[in-house]
Amino acid sequence: MGKLTVREAALDVLLKVAQDEAFSHLSLNDMLKKQRLSGRDSRLLTEIVYGTMARRMTLDYYLAPFLKKSKKLEEWVRLLLHLSVYQMVYLDRVPDRAIIHEAVTIAGKRGHKGIRGFVNGVLRSVQRQGVPSVQTIADPLEKAAIETSHPKWLLARWVAQYGFDTAVNMAEANNKPPRVTVRVNVCKTNADEVIASLASEGVTAVHGRLLPEALEMTSGQPFSTQSYQKGLFTAQDESAMLVTHLLDIGPNMRVLDTCAAPGGKTTHIAEQLNGTGTVDAYDLHPHKVKLIAEQAARLGLTNVYPVAQDAREVKSEPLYDRILIDAPCTGFGVIRRKPDIRFRKQEADVKAIATVQQEILRAAALALAPGGKLVYSTCTIEQEENEAVVAKFLSDHPGFKVDETMKERLPAVLQEKGRCTPLGLTILPQDFGTDGFFMTCLTRSI
């Protein structure tokens, strides 16, 4: 692949995601690596790709008056119009005429003359007439769905669970760029040393919002630094870091992480064990198990044992002091990081994955020692995958209950303002700017 302009690269990534069902973050990272763009261009490419994907429904609505309903557009033409209108509406720093000029040039390179003229005509009309207002949509749910670009069924589910305003706030938060946060490897260093080490490599960082081992990046590329290679930190959101705190890790414990890849929480547990104890790290997919081993090696952790293993078939011996089930889920708490998942998942997926979650919890819980603690977490805010899974498990297993001391292990701000119910803690993406998550801790008495 030769050198592409930022918009050509954006179109290629969007096309790959749309046609090959490729993962958005992997395709984008691939392109960023191949094209070796400057920091400024990398940021622009990321913004155009994520923004265009996230705003798909709104962009369809904006473009509808300028397109003939009967004419089916080729996918690349649709995406070129989308990414151009995205820039015209949401990015102030590029003048419309430059956006249109580049779109027409790309259309000319990829299509015949007619397509070039078509793209030019549509975009000039948008520039002249402006996009239609969503205020004319009478149904409030439909209006919010178009305005925030979330499928109506998904928004309706959130309205039923959290109320209209909270659901819409969540949808709006999902369209904001995610914070880049990392977890300091406390076995090797501390937060201030990592800030200084990154600064010497041109990356600026500040302390996180919730936890002392968290740092937020404010500029630069932390994962291309020597500090990263040396294992001083790991990419992780602060909500995800909280999960390990709920486990209440102590020295020499035997820990099982049932759904461990790529190893974010496994390595956090191992760091808290500080060279003692063991973490058995299971994952269903052998290729992902490799990633756990790589992360443990980079961080210098020698107490991690990755295994390809279906968590639904965990053997009940040996008994563990701590078990983490960071279950596979719909991922609706991390839409900011994977904007396309809102369009990929269907309502039936929620029920299907909740069944898998039940199976994993039922099987793995039997490997917990009496007096031990089990944390169940997901990066989704769907109650069917969270509270409902836990409630069903507890009603079938009288030897388990929610750990009453769980709240004490949360930072003060979450103890005061967190969405805690008797079944666990839910964090919505708008609450603290961290990922949407659910987590709870269960104890076993018999």
The DSSP symbol for 173 reads H
CA distance 107 to 347: 36
The interface region with ligand SAM, picked from 97-105, 261-269, 396-404, 423-431 by CB under 6 A, is 261-269
The interface region with ligand SAM, picked from 9-17, 32-40, 56-64, 263-271 by CB under 6 A, is 263-271
Q: Please indicate if the annotation marks 296 as binding a ligand.
A: no
265 lies in the binding site for ligand SAM (CB under 6 A): yes
Nearer to ligand SAM, 148 or 377 (CB): 377
Q: Please indicate if the annotation marks 283 as binding a ligand.
A: yes
CA distance 275 to 301: 7
Query: Is 187 tagged catalytic?
Result: no
Q: What is the 3-state secondary structure (H, E, C) of 174-199?
A: CCCCCCCEEEECCCCCCHHHHHHHHH
Nearer to ligand SAM, 10 or 296 (CB): 296
306 lies in the binding site for ligand SAM (CB under 6 A): no
CA distance 442 to 446: 13
Q: How far is the CB of 280 from ligand SAM (least distance, A)?
A: 12
CA distance 355 to 347: 14
Q: What b-and-e string marks burial along 358-397, b requiring 16 or more CB atoms within 10 Å of the CB?
A: bebbbbbbebbeeebbbbbbbbbbbbbbbbebbeebbeeb
Q: Please indicate if the annotation marks 260 as binding a ligand.
A: yes
Alpha helices in 163-273 (DSSP H): 164-173, 191-199, 226-229, 238-247, 264-273
264 lies in the binding site for ligand SAM (CB under 6 A): yes
CA distance 366 to 70: 58
Cβ atoms of 335 and 50 within 8 Å: the answer is no
Q: Please indicate if the annotation marks 388 as binding a ligand.
A: no
DSSP string, 120-137: HHHHHHHHHH-PPPGGG-
Nearer to ligand SAM, 46 or 258 (CB): 258
Q: How far is the CB of 341 from ligand SAM (least distance, A)?
A: 13
CA distance 431 to 304: 33
Judged by CB under 6 A, the residue of 3, 33, 101, 285 near ligand SAM is 285
Token pair of 21, please?
């069902």
| Half-sphere exposure of residue 13: CA atoms within 13 angstroms, side-chain side | 32
Nearer to ligand SAM, 42 or 239 (CB): 239
Judged by CB under 6 A, the residue of 4, 186, 284, 388 near ligand SAM is 284
Q: How far is the CB of 200 from ligand SAM (least distance, A)?
A: 28
205 lies in the binding site for ligand SAM (CB under 6 A): no
Q: Quick one: CA dihedral 122, 128, 129, 130, positive or negative?
A: positive
259 lies in the binding site for ligand SAM (CB under 6 A): yes
Q: Please indicate if the annotation marks 435 as binding a ligand.
A: no
Give SS3 for 69.
coil
**Which residues have C-beta within 8 Å of that of residue 133, sequence separation ≥ 6?**
none
The amino acid present at 376, given as its one-letter code, is Y
345 lies in the binding site for ligand SAM (CB under 6 A): no
Q: How far is the CB of 388 from ligand SAM (least distance, A)?
A: 18
The interface region with ligand SAM, picked from 146-154, 205-213, 279-287, 429-437 by CB under 6 A, is 279-287
Binding to ligand SAM in span 315-334, by CB under 6 A? 326, 328
Binding to ligand SAM in span 352-411, by CB under 6 A? 360
Nearer to ligand SAM, 328 or 436 (CB): 328
The catalytically annotated residue of 187, 329, 379, 420 is 379
Q: Please indicate if the annotation marks 263 as binding a ligand.
A: yes
51 lies in the binding site for ligand SAM (CB under 6 A): no
Judged by CB under 6 A, the residue of 106, 241, 311, 423 near ligand SAM is 311
Judged by CB under 6 A, the residue of 282, 320, 376, 438 near ligand SAM is 282
CA distance 375 to 46: 34
> Prior bond to 398 cis, omega within 30?
no
Cβ atoms of 377 and 324 within 8 Å: the answer is yes
Token pair of 113, please?
């003359």
Q: Please indicate if the annotation marks 257 as binding a ligand.
A: no
Angle at 332 between CA 33 and CA 20, to 5 degrees: 45
CA distance 426 to 333: 10
The interface region with ligand SAM, picked from 105-113, 245-253, 304-312, 396-404 by CB under 6 A, is 304-312
312 lies in the binding site for ligand SAM (CB under 6 A): yes
293 lies in the binding site for ligand SAM (CB under 6 A): no
208 lies in the binding site for ligand SAM (CB under 6 A): no
Q: Which residues are annotated as a binding site?
A: 259-265, 283, 310, 326
Name the site residues for ligand SAM (rule: CB under 6 A).
240, 258-265, 282-285, 288, 310-312, 326, 328, 360
Q: Which residues are annotated as a binding site for S-adenosyl-L-methionine?
A: 259-265, 283, 310, 326
Q: Which positions are annotated as active-site residues?
A: 379
